[in-house]
Chain A
Amino acid sequence: MKKELLIKEKQAKRTNPLAHVFDDFIDFCQSKSLFMLHYCTGCGAIELPPAMTSRFDMERLGIQPMVTPRQADILLVTGYVSVKTLKRVILTYEQMQAPKYVIGICSCTVNGGMYWQSYATAKKLNDYMPVDVYIAGCMPRPEAVLEGLQRLKENIKNDRKQQKGSAWKEYFANYDTYLGNQQHLFGDDWQTPVDIIAEAKLYGLEGEGTYGKNTEKLAKVQQPLLPQEMKL
């Protein structure tokens, strides 16, 4: 229902049939050149060097590692996420420029995996940020990682037709839910330097779930991050 509405909205804005050709072309180009930030949150990181280097060679798919979140397109979360790490994962995710995609590697990001009874880990990554593709397994082989990346590429390529490659919009549209889950773990005074609500307003990405009682809590504690004075 929601997807259909979104598609209708898009069609209403673009009346020229040629516009869709450009949309498809842009999606095609995006899917062919992706920079990947791998956050080594857990064991799954050990299968990434084989996937990136000569034997399995991720670069032939047009995917390359990138060192900073601000220039990356894909965030790979490789394995179980402890609460302390999850804070940093969320910070990293919010710093990335849209369009951005998240891949959860290993069973631990799906449902807690082997550490389902651990007091220190967050069980479902999907509760804290929208995930595009999950790659299950403990740990997934490099072939599985490449397969997952190819699935993501297909999703990005067919984004206009299927609306599968735009999970990042969910984060803006349902920010209240995600923020609520984050506050549940980190406390009510949790805030990040990125102002998601202002961004959603600016780019017209607001949805029904952007505002709610959790964002009201955030508004009470939020302080703008001021640049620090440098003394020489």
Chain B
Amino acid sequence: MRPENYQAVQLGESNEYEIFIGPNHPGIEGNYALKLVLDGDIVVKGTTDAGYLHRGFEKLMEGRLWIQNLAIVPRICVPDPAPMEVSYSLAVEEIMGIEAPIRAQWIRVMQLELSRVAAHLFTFGGHAATTGMYTPMYWGVADRDLVLDLFEDFTGGRVYSIYNIPGGVRRELPNGFLEKLSNLLDYLESRQNDYDNLLFTNQIFVQRAKGVGILSKEDALDYGVTGPNLRACGLAFDVRRDDPYLVYDQLDFDIPTQQAGDAWARILVRRDELFQSIRILRQVIEKLPTIKGPIRTPIPNPLSWNVRAGEAYARVESSKGELAYYVVSDGGDKPYRVHVRGPSSMHAVQTLEYLAKGARLEDVAQIMFSLDACPPEVDR
């Protein structure tokens, strides 16, 4: 078979050309491709070409034990792996009819929010780099590394922590961890001014991002958009507040929104969310030392562990949007069916195709990064 599209293809007698962006391209997030029909530098039609990262996750999980699956769930979304483990654990707990101890729930909230901070810091840099600004990328990655150091401290893993199991978390926090966390939050807050000057109010960036990839509230709902992308259209929907899981109903935080629905609004929502996460983490630091108790509800021997028949749907708010696991058990030692409802498949396929239409070629990369899609989660 000859792989097609080595060159730009002229379509018939018209002035339209068909070109490929990706899968190995600096303006594409991850291993993903777009086929664009161009008239001049205006995109007439954009078609996404996914599947480069397909591993058959949902099928693989049917062939592994309940406990073994915990090792592969975080691999579905690489920049933000913590919501994956938590969501899978919540679903299995719901089938089993157990609940994690209250201390484990607070630790899970801490892990989720730290993961959100890391993912957003990573996104700022990627988005800025598509407009030609490379300094935010260096800053964002360096600050994210400080968060990863904390992850390494309390879970043992830099990126993939595999810290949750159904029934709780695996380890107690190390001594002096909350002080370290508090110091990191102080540092991140002190960087707020620098980031604002460098990126969020910098005219070089604002002029490029304003008015690009405008998504209206109705379209966003039609296309199944969730998370920060939906909040940038003016709809304050957040799973953490509207369908609380863990201990989010005891926490005090705002849901930042913007009205414009363009690339700039989306990055501003992420910026505000980062500081809301810091606010939540401060409450966790205050509350966690007062809660004593176990961190895990005992589960049977994991190697011969038959989860009773049933099904559960557990959803959490990841940094990309609403993430959910639908798990079905037939009473065996392996799941009967696992379905992942990832936010990125809605963002990176249909929404991206819709927004790319009519955009200019140089803005396509920016639209993709502003939607903050996660290609491994699209393909699974």
Task: Return the CB mask of B224-249 against A: 1 if under 8 Å, else 0.
Answer: 00000000000000000000000000
List B residues 258-281 near A (Cβ within 8 Å): none
Q: Which residue of A lies closest to B138 (CB)?
A: A53
Binds B, one of A86-94, A160-168, A201-209: A86-94
Query: Chain A's nearest CB lies how many Å from the CB of B194?
Result: 14
Query: Chain A's nearest CB lies how many Å from the CB of B76?
Result: 10
Asked whether A40 is an interface residue with its Cβ less than 8 Å from the other chain, the reply is: yes
A85 touches B142 (CB 8 A): no
Q: Which of B6, B31, B160 contacts A41 (CB 8 A)?
A: B31
Given that A45-B30, A186-B1 are known contacts, is A84 also in contact with B141, CB under 8 Å in the complex?
Answer: no
A49 touches B26 (CB 8 A): no
Asked whether B358 is an interface residue with its Cβ less than 8 Å from the other chain, the reply is: no
Asked whether B51 is an interface residue with its Cβ less than 8 Å from the other chain, the reply is: yes
Task: Return the CB mask of B288-304 against A: 1 if under 8 Å, else 0.
Answer: 00000000000000000
Task: Return the CB mask of B119-157 against A: 1 if under 8 Å, else 0.
Answer: 000100100000000000110011011001000000000
Q: How large is the interface on B (under 10, 10 to 19, 20 to 34, 35 or more residues)?
A: 35 or more
Q: Which of B24, B54, B142 contacts A39 (CB 8 A)?
A: B24
Residues of B whose CB lies within 8 Å of any CB of A are 1-3, 6-7, 9-10, 13, 23-24, 26, 30-31, 51-56, 59-60, 63, 71-72, 75, 78-79, 122, 125, 137-138, 141-142, 144-145, 148, 158-160, 376
Q: Which of A40, A41, A119, A138 contacts B56 (CB 8 A)?
A: A119
Task: Return the CB mask of A121-164 against B: 1 if under 8 Å, else 0.
Answer: 10000000000000000110100000000000000000000000
Q: Report the separation of the CA atoms of residues A88 and B159 in the bound assembly, to the nearest whole angstrom.
A: 27
A139 touches B31 (CB 8 A): no
User: Which residue among B3, B7, B138, B144 has the maximum number of chain A CB atoms within 10 Å of its CB?
Assistant: B3
Chain B residues whose CB sits within 8 angstroms of the CB of A53 once the complex forms: 137-138, 141-142
Q: Which residue of B lies closest to A87 (CB)?
A: B3
Q: Which of A49, A115, A227 contacts B55 (CB 8 A)?
A: A115
Query: Chain B's nearest CB lies how many Å from the CB of A40?
Result: 5
Query: Chain A's nearest CB lies how many Å from the CB of B329?
Result: 21
B75 touches A40 (CB 8 A): no
Q: Report the separation of the CA atoms of residues A118 and B72 in the bound assembly, to the nearest whole angstrom.
A: 12
Q: Report the separation of the CA atoms of residues A14 and B137 in the bound assembly, to the nearest whole angstrom.
A: 49
Q: Which residue of B lies closest to A231 (CB)?
A: B10
Given that A45-B30, A225-B6, A230-B10 are known contacts, is A114 also in contact with B75, CB under 8 Å in the complex?
Answer: yes
Chain A residues whose CB sits within 8 angstroms of the CB of B26 once the complex forms: 67
Q: Which residue of B lies closest to A47 (CB)?
A: B159
For the residues of A in contact with B, the DSSP-based class is: loop
Q: Report the separation of the CA atoms of residues A37 and B72 in the bound assembly, to the nearest whole angstrom.
A: 27
Chain A residues whose CB sits within 8 angstroms of the CB of B63 once the complex forms: 117
Q: Report the separation of the CA atoms of residues A86 and B6 in the bound assembly, to the nearest whole angstrom.
A: 16
List A residues 1-53 near B (Cβ within 8 Å): 37, 39-43, 45-47, 49-50, 53
Query: Chain A's nearest CB lies how many Å from the CB of B166?
Result: 20
B60 touches A118 (CB 8 A): yes
Query: Chain B's nearest CB lies how many Å from the CB of A39?
Result: 5
Query: Chain B's nearest CB lies how many Å from the CB of A117?
Result: 6
A118 touches B55 (CB 8 A): yes
Q: Which of B7, B13, B145, B376 contacts A43 (CB 8 A)?
A: B376
List A residues 57-72 near B (Cβ within 8 Å): 67, 69
Task: Return the CB mask of A71-106 against B: 1 if under 8 Å, else 0.
Answer: 000000000101011011001100000000000000
A82 touches B54 (CB 8 A): yes
A121 touches B51 (CB 8 A): no
B2 touches A191 (CB 8 A): yes
